[in-house]
């Protein structure tokens, strides 16, 4: 018997999540939540009804809906709303595309989305509410902390550590053993050869700090 699932978010990334969920047999989607535009309540998105916003959580849980997944790109909003969902008694569902390759000893936290074409190699640790997006790769012994986003086509070599809520931009390549701090953004197409601190913006080939923590 499939578990009842509500998807929180109703924009582009939610289409990807819906597709992954529907390719599996674990969850039945009962509807969508949209906190951004309350006027969408009662309308349809990608074949599913938008029920309302977070004010619907208690009612959904009481009606037997026991799983939730956050389906939007804002890293820290996923972390914040994931906590709210858990406080209401929901478990955080995982969405792993059947055409992703995930090593048997890799770990994937609740709420995380692993898109089509992704490769996650042995002993990799993927936290909660992480997105590893289309055709990205995470090599052996990497650690991706909660709420991070590895964008489409990004490639992490072995033993890379990506901090909480950080974003590795589309098509970026990260050298083995590199550490990317928390709340940091790596711009699209970057080549990361050295550690990047917390709360920073870096991009280029090789990647250089554009905004450092000391300058806000």
Structure tokens at 76: 């820290």
140 is catalytic: yes
Rounded to whole angstroms, the Cα distance separating 139 from 150 reads 12
How buried is residue 146: exposed, middle or buried, by Cβ count under 10 Å (0-12/13-18/19+)?
Answer: buried
Q: Are the CB atoms for 21 and 27 separated by under 8 Å?
A: yes
Rounded to whole angstroms, the Cα distance separating 73 from 99 reads 21
How buried is residue 4: exposed, middle or buried, by Cβ count under 10 Å (0-12/13-18/19+)?
Answer: middle
Question: Out of 48, 88, 97, 140, which one is annotated catalytic?
Answer: 140
Structure tokens at 31: 């509807």
Provide CB contacts within 8 A for 30, sequence distance 6+.
Answer: 4, 5, 6, 51, 60, 65
Tell me the pairing of strands 149-150 and 101-102: unpaired
Catalytic residue list? 140
């Amino acid at each position: 018997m499939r578990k009842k699932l509500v998807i929180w978010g109703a924009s582009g990334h939610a289409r990807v999540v819906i597709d992954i969920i529907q390719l599996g047999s674990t969850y039945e989607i009962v509807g969508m939540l949209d906190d951004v535009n309350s006027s969408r309540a009662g309308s349809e998105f990608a074949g599913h009804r938008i029920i309302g916003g977070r004010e619907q959580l208690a009612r959904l849980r009481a009606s037997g809906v026991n799983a939730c997944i956050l389906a939007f790109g804002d890293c820290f909003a996923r972390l914040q709303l994931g906590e709210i969902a858990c406080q209401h008694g929901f478990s955080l569902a995982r969405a792993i595309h059947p055409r992703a390759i995930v090593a048997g000893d890799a770990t994937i936290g609740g709420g995380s989305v692993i898109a089509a074409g992704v490769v996650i190699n042995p002993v990799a640790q993927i936290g909660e509410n992480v997105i590893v997006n289309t055709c990205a790769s995470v090599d052996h012994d990497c650690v991706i902390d909660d709420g991070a986003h590895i964008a489409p086509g990004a490639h992490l070599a072995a033993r890379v550590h990506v901090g909480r809520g950080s974003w590795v931009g589309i098509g970026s390549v990260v050298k083995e053993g590199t550490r990317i701090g928390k709340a940091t953004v790596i711009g699209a197409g970057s080549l990361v050869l050295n550690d990047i601190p917390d709360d920073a913006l870096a991009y280029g080939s090789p990647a250089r700090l554009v905004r450092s923590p000391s300058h806000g």
